Amino acid sequence: MLTDNYQRQINYLRISITDMCNLRCLYCQPKPETGWKIHQEILRYEEIVRLASLMIQLGIKRIRVTGGEPLVKKDILWLIKGLAKIEGLEELALTTNGTKLVPLAEQLKENGVNRLNISLDSLNNDRYFMITGGGNLNDVLAGIDEALRVGFVPLKINMVVMAGINDDEVESFVRLTFDKPVVVRFIEFMPISWQEISWDEGYLPAHVLRQRLAQKFSMVPCSNIQGNGPAEHYKIDGAVGSIGFISPISKHFCDKCNRLRLTPDGHLRLCLGQDMEIDLKQPMQNGASDEELKGLILQGIRDKPMGHQFQIKRPEGRQMCAIGG
Ligand code: SAM
């Protein structure tokens, strides 16, 4: 069992396999002056599988593949197969913007992905295009249908709610749960590095949203969501699916944080909201043994910060696309 200095059990690894994405979301894209990381800086699939295996030997049980957009990577199924067959891994999940799921959902499932999260911030074509810097909503809606068809049930749909940008659509997102086996999760907008929209203006606390929705819908608390993370879940009377609220800012869950993150360029990031990282790529490429790499990972876990400090200090070191959500 992997435990940090605050007695938190660390069993979950998020791997961002690329910072590149086919969308340019308002709050999540590279700084104009730096752009995407060049290809040579990104870990090779074999290196990702090696580091994941070492972390599983140490006590990681669940892995989420994310990005950037993981499904823009060539030969993604090679990586999925490689991760899925690591002994000791109990769950392999993937987070995607959903635009590439029509051709890939079935193969992802067949090759070992157990769970899928799809990010979607608007159900309006023009607004989706605006928020994502050119995305086509129909691609995602078709991706959701395909994911459900091949059996990713329940399917989580994550919406970052931003005041004045898309908060008028939350009721429409709730209605998605009426007849689809989806869990719509409303996520608080976080201040991370450079963003094209102002966090101060866009941030909407989850409890404000919950009160607003409770005036319109009969919401019953529920807790039986598979893969239950930090969300508070509710079911609307008679709905097939459910909704959840994730409040990293207004009611953070750092004391229960069980996560590590591996960045595309091979750094172990210990907290989403703090820039402290340990470089694993350089030692690995300089010939470090498995035991030496495990030592570095354990050192990182011991130094894992108590929590983020979003409201005091915004992490500036990396864009979200280079951390992995
Ligand atoms: N491209 C994939 C996708 O769209 O799901 C995976 C990467 S994306 C960085 C993962 C998740 O992080 C998305 O749901 C995105 O909305 C969320 N995210 C990015 N920046 C965020 C922020 N500042 N606050 C809250 N969520 C954020």
- The pLDDT, as a whole number, for residue 228 is 54
User: What is the Å distance from ligand 1's center to 34 Cα?
Assistant: 19
Q: Spell out the domains of the chain, with CATH numbers in brackets.
A: 12-322 (3.20.20.70)
User: Rounded to the nearest 5 degrees, what angle is found at the Cα of 225, between the Cα atoms of 222 and 231?
Assistant: 75
Q: Can you read off the two tokens belonging to residue 262? A: 């591996």
- The pLDDT, as a whole number, for residue 286 is 98
Torsion angles phi and psi, residue 279, rounded to 5: -80, 115
User: What is the Å distance from ligand 1's center to 149 Cα?
Assistant: 24
C-alpha distance from residue 299 to each of 50, 108, 136, 286, 319 (Å): 18, 34, 44, 19, 24
- The pLDDT, as a whole number, for residue 225 is 63
115-133 as b/e: b if 16+ CB within 10 A: bbbbbbbbbeeebbeebbe
Q: Are 63 and 226 in contact (CB under 8 A)?
A: no
Q: Indicate the pTM of the whole model.
A: 0.96
Looking only at the bridges linking them, the beta strands covering 115-119 and 155-161 are parallel
Closest-CA residue, ligand 1 atom 20, reads 28
Ligand 1 binding pocket includes 321 (Cβ within 6 Å): yes
**What is the DSSP code (8-state) at residue 91?**
E
Closest-CA residue, ligand 1 atom 22, reads 190
Ligand 1 binding pocket includes 160 (Cβ within 6 Å): yes
Ligand 1 binding pocket includes 53 (Cβ within 6 Å): no
- The pLDDT, as a whole number, for residue 33 is 76
Question: What gap in Å lies between CA 252 and CA 255, rounded to an integer?
Answer: 8
Cα dihedral sign, 200-205-211-213: positive
Closest-CA residue, ligand 1 atom 25, reads 189
How far is Cα of residue 298 from the mean position of the Cα atoms in its chain?
Answer: 23
Ligand 1 binding pocket includes 323 (Cβ within 6 Å): no
Torsion angles phi and psi, residue 91, rounded to 5: -155, 135
- The pLDDT, as a whole number, for residue 324 is 82
- The pLDDT, as a whole number, for residue 167 is 98
Closest-CA residue, ligand 1 atom 9, reads 325
Ligand 1 binding pocket includes 28 (Cβ within 6 Å): yes
CA-nearest of 7, 16, 6 to 260 is: 16
Ligand 1 binding pocket includes 119 (Cβ within 6 Å): yes
The residues, ordered by sequence, that sit 6+ positions from 34 with a Cβ below 8 Å of its Cβ are none
- Alpha-helical (H) ranges within 59-169 are 76-84, 101-110, 125-131, 137-149
- In a structure prediction context, what are the per-residue pLDDT tens digits for the chain, which is 325 residues long? 899 999 999 999 999 999 999 999 999 988 777 777 777 799 999 999 999 999 999 999 999 999 999 999 999 999 999 999 999 999 999 999 999 999 999 999 999 999 999 999 999 999 999 999 999 999 999 999 999 999 999 999 999 999 999 999 999 999 999 999 999 999 999 999 888 899 999 999 999 999 999 999 999 999 766 555 688 999 999 999 999 999 999 988 899 999 999 999 999 999 999 999 999 999 999 999 999 999 999 999 999 998 998 877 888 888 888 888 7
| Nearest atom in ligand 1 to 195's CA | 23
User: What is the Å distance from ligand 1's center to 320 Cα?
Assistant: 7
Ligand 1 binding pocket includes 319 (Cβ within 6 Å): no
- The pLDDT, as a whole number, for residue 226 is 59
User: What is the Å distance from ligand 1's center to 23 Cα?
Assistant: 11
